[in-house]
Amino acid sequence: MEQRISLITLGVADVARATAFYKRMGWKPAESPPEITFFQAGGSIFSLYGREALAVDAGVATETSDKSASVVLAFNARSKEEVDAVLAEARDAGAEITKPAEDTFWGGYSGCFADPDGHLWEIAWNPHFAILENGSIRLPE
């Protein structure tokens, strides 16, 4: 696993309200569908997404959980094979795989794990977001 964080996603109660707050802070969102807002933040991406949807995507919206997720960090890999390799590395390092890797509805491939404190990571291959040589990630212009 390269030592970088591609996305920081905050789980929010209302994406429009949260987006309005960050716009008041001077942040400019990229073109985004209504259910998620993406901001280019230096070499990473900052995003706002519904807490319940975030929990479903991370594989932690079970019968016994509170069905919401507060924050998910993402590492975007350069290939599907790298996604599998990083998830295997995480499992071997003691992480709990919360969602095995699978093809996603948005045309990518991703899986998720929880670190020993329950912090969630998505390991993703996303053909829509460019990863530069130095590991920076870029939203489409």
CA distance 89 to 10: 25
CA distance 139 to 43: 10
Q: Is 76 in the site for its own copies (CB under 8 A)?
A: no
CA distances from residue 62 to 69, 115, 117 in whole angstroms, order as listed: 11, 18, 18
Site for its own copies in 53-72 (CB under 8 A): 70-71
- CB count within 10 Å of CB 24 equals 8
The least CB distance from residue 66 to its own copies, in Å, is 13
Which is nearer to its own copies, 22 or 32 (by Cβ)?
22
Q: Which residues bind its own copies (CB under 8 A)?
A: 1, 3-5, 8, 10-13, 17-18, 21-22, 24-28, 39-44, 46, 51, 70-71, 73, 89-90, 92-95, 115-117, 119, 134-136
